Chain A
Amino acid sequence: MVGKNIPFIDASEMTRGRTVYASDTSLPGMLEGGLLRSPHPHAKIINIDISSAEQLPGVKAIITRKNIPNVKFGSTIQDDTVLAIDKVRHFGEPVAGVAALDEDIVEEALSLIRVEYEEIPAVFDA
């Protein structure tokens, strides 16, 4: 084996674009998911209104702080919650999740979720 040119077992598939990655799979009954993320770095969550989003045809589930387990996770310190609960602590923190029939419906559903925030001071510079 040493000194021989052995091609990668799946190289030829890769050059033809035939390799199936996770995002290329499609299973019967599969849904697409998406997260609504905070546009604020630090803000209290006053209210989340999912009523319009829930009514959109093709939406199968929407979750918010009301639906998540009472667990904290993290690799070094376990201080992260599944979705933001009382407030958001960084830009992009997930606030709600949607599962729907396709990506397009997910995006539209996310745009229909109304979150009322109250911005609070944040540190941007040391």
Chain B
Amino acid sequence: MAYVRINMNVNHDEYQVEVKPHWNLLYVLRKKIGLTGVKYGCGTGECGTCTVILDGKIVHSCLKLAAQCDGSEITTIEGLGVGSQLTRLQEAFVRHGATQCGYCTPGMILAAHSLLEANPKPTVQEVRDALTGNLCRCTGYQKIIEAIMDVTGQR
């Protein structure tokens, strides 16, 4: 099977990777680039733990072929914040107890981040709608929503 060479900008770093046509973006990010903050949860686009920002929009990286991402700009959870400095959103998650096992957290943070870039003052319903692509089995979502609303200056 022939490899396809792709170029991607991931978290402001340039990568050139040889990929097989059937590899998904999640596999390449985790196994070839080593970004394990992007999680494998279901592999079928239902859980959102594989969420990344691809060319400005959040996507389930398990549903994107890596070969489709040639020339793309990608942000993973590792690309938020500077060094070990937390963003206000990340701090709010910590303060509100919005993490338990933490597996959904990277995806939730990216989905919330993406929402707030487009809509800095969402309603609670708009927050819920924005998180429909991200499942959490631990927290019951309430603390996650509170953390996000807190960051927007709304309670």
Q: Is chain B found bound to chain A in the same assembly?
A: yes
By DSSP majority rule, is chain A's interface helix, strand, loop, or mixed? Answer: loop
User: Does B84 sit at the interface, judged by CB under 8 A?
Assistant: yes
In the complex, chain B residues whose CB is within 8 Å of the CB of A19: 102
A16 touches B95 (CB 8 A): no
Q: Using A11-B99, A104-B20 as known contacts, say yes or no to A17 and B31 having CB atoms under 8 A apart.
A: no
User: Does B65 sit at the interface, judged by CB under 8 A?
Assistant: no
> What number of B residues sit within 8 Å (CB to CB) of A?
31
A16 touches B84 (CB 8 A): yes
The interface bits of chain B over 95-110 (1 if a CB of A lies within 8 angstroms of the residue's CB, else 0) are 1010110110110010
User: Does A5 sit at the interface, judged by CB under 8 A?
Assistant: yes
B36 touches A20 (CB 8 A): yes
Most B CB within 10 A of own CB, among A5, A8, A10, A23: A8
Contact count band on A: 20 to 34
Tell which of B54-62, B75-83, B121-129 binds the partner. Answer: B75-83
B84 touches A15 (CB 8 A): no
In the complex, chain A residues whose CB is within 8 Å of the CB of B97: 7-8, 11
- A positions within 8 Å CB-CB of B: 5, 7-8, 10-21, 23-24, 102-104
